[in-house]
Structure 1
Amino acid sequence: MKAEIIAVGTELLMGQIVNTNAQYISRGLADIGVGVYYQTVVGDNVDRIKETLAVAKSRADLIICTGGLGPTQDDLTKDVLAEVLGRKLVIHQPSYDYMENLFRTRGITMVESNIRQAYMLEGTDPLPNDTGLAVGNAVTQDGTHYILLPGPPKEMKPMFDTYVISWLTDRMGSVQPLFSTMMKFAGIGESFLEHALIDLIQAQTDPTIAPYAKEGEVALRLTTRAASKEQATEKLWPLEREIRTRLGDHVYASEDITLELEVLRLLTAANKTLSVAESCTGGQLSDLLTAVPGGSHSFAGGVICYTNRVKNKVLGVPMEQLEGPDAPGAVSEETARLLAENVRKLADADYALSLTGVAGPAESEGKPVGLVYVGIAERDAETEVVTLNLSGNRETIKLRASKTALYHLWKKIKI
């Protein structure tokens, strides 16, 4: 079954509302084995909605529309689909009775615009709205399934979960659901990952491999069809095992979690703590760590040592090391080492990370933009310093430096 999701609403095209419904519906359909091939957004315009429905019918056998079921004149979805399918709009009596009772109880007059929400296409299956007023619709005509859902997520989600999934599964027969595993990588770029796995990607059939990338992390989604989760695991594991054999030093999780969460999990499991000293990242690393609920069990705290004065006064880096014609400077291996060692002692932590470098937009101390030193200190062990040469704008460099620092700590503490 090929599905297309059509989100109706000019406010979506204007950027006033983010279309989270499509993501939610896509995930739900994948769980029952339905692939979403297209997602479309169209404004509140009769002709354009008609055109969008015609295009969708030519390439999908399941069309799910969200939005346009409300009480106002620009809520057009039901009216347009009724015209396209040659069906009348009729009152769904249970929805009307509920609405009438609700308005009467609240002492409010129910006007015609409110009643619009109780209309449905004649001869179709109603989808009750347990959290709102607009009734949904489901119908199969000429081999195409049509589903109408309200736009507000608080109404759409329960209607989809409670009524749409069962309506679809009754019509799908023996189609097997999709199961996925997400593999998360750090310390590796998307292009290098693809190069290392290119033969697997080119030969994929079932399971399939889909790469995803964002700053500082890369992910692979491995997907297969199976009758059960256990059967899916049997099919997915050989592929995951091969990927781990090739890139095990970069695979930090087999679930969709962040690197900072995994690092804090490992620290907590080992009853260890971490502190940080940040210069060029200006608190970016601390922000990542404190965004994890419960992170205080392992994250002791940090110092934003943005100026040489703070590096000297708070973390004890000698001024002669920071400044002067023959000094290594704030952006140096020597300074990264001292920052890490001293912030670890200051917080009495088991580990410490330091970051000092040039985030841009201009060079500093005669050193290029993107040069960053990461210090990694550990109680009763020799401190390591990693040199990074990063690209991108200021914000990109700060985030990449923070993620790379976490990656090197992860390598040190992983079990």
Structure 2
Amino acid sequence: MRWMMLSLGMAAQGAGCVFMYGLPFLLPAFRAEFGLTLAQAGILVGAPSAGMLFTLIAWGWVADRFGERLAMTAGLVMAAAFLAGAAATGDPVVLAVLLALAGAGGAAANAASGRVVLGWFPKERRGVAMGFRQTATPLGVAVAGAVTPRFATVQGALLAMAVICAVTAVAVLAFVRDPARGASGPASRTASPYRDAGLWRVHGASALLVVPQFATAAFAVTYLVSARGWDVASAGQLVAGAQFLGAAGRLACGRWSDAVGSRVRPMRQLALVNGVVMVLLAASVQTSWGLPLMIAALVISMSGNGLAFTAVSELAGSAWAGRALGAQNTAQNIVSAVTPGVVGALIAGTGFGVAFALAGALALVAAVATPSEPTPAAVTV
């Protein structure tokens, strides 16, 4: 039963990722059909992520208060409805608003699917389960890449995304069962876990670790083309392959954390390795070591994401996990929105070495910021 619940949670999160990350494939179509500049089309692509930022914590509260099944179903139905509306409009301003609202609805799965892992899996298996859950993002991107180019128009692609969300919502409504939460039920309230600095430190450390992840993912192709002389197609294939290795790394890190009985210890150690590799990459951008170090940095920076989410859910406890996971997603999304612009400006002004060195330094700060082991009472759910 628990693996079925995990699969449905992954499907819900993956359905949201299909339109969140499928829109970049529509950039040429947006420009051709609506007569937009690249910057204007970019606003459409970023609209769902902007909408998500405003509702992640609210959806976490809904999951905490009323259960995962209701939150995921309602969010996906909203996303499907707004995507269908977006497919019907010819006004780019209305389209941007509807895409933002679709993102606001799709955010429900980010918080609620994490609660499914917390509730259905025992502590000794929760790390690998969360690792599987975190692979929903690269799998959603893969589905988007396979499905979106098959449609000749924006309308057709958006309708396909709406159907994916609607079908997934029906499956969640029909088959998801909220995990038991004890005698007090889903409406129970406990003292805020944010009175403990440990949860704040996990949020902060994981937000810092977004920087090396996006510094490599966003600029690896540019580095390989401009600094190493690769062609764009080959560089893109390498980065895509690294995404799958990163997904496998998330599973491996989850199993590692289950084996050692800790989330924060592997998180701290991986952040330290991440920082060292980024600094070595910064020192080697013009040497033959640049390529293997870039691949290592890409994979390592993606691999530990599930550790932080598992730590947050356990530190928050059952009554607060949805809101805490919403806050975790919010912090990471804010940093991920800012990082490409800042890193891009650094690369343009000073070169790849300084930008990668800064990302490595922040990973080392994250290793220091990661808290020590929580008290047993803090992780009882």
The two structures have a TM-score, normalised by structure 1, of 0.23
Greater relative CO, 1 or 2 (CA 8 Å, sep 6+): 2
The two structures have a TM-score, normalised by structure 2, of 0.24
Higher percent of residues as helix: 2
**Larger of the two Rg values belongs to structure:** 1
Higher percent of residues as strand: 1
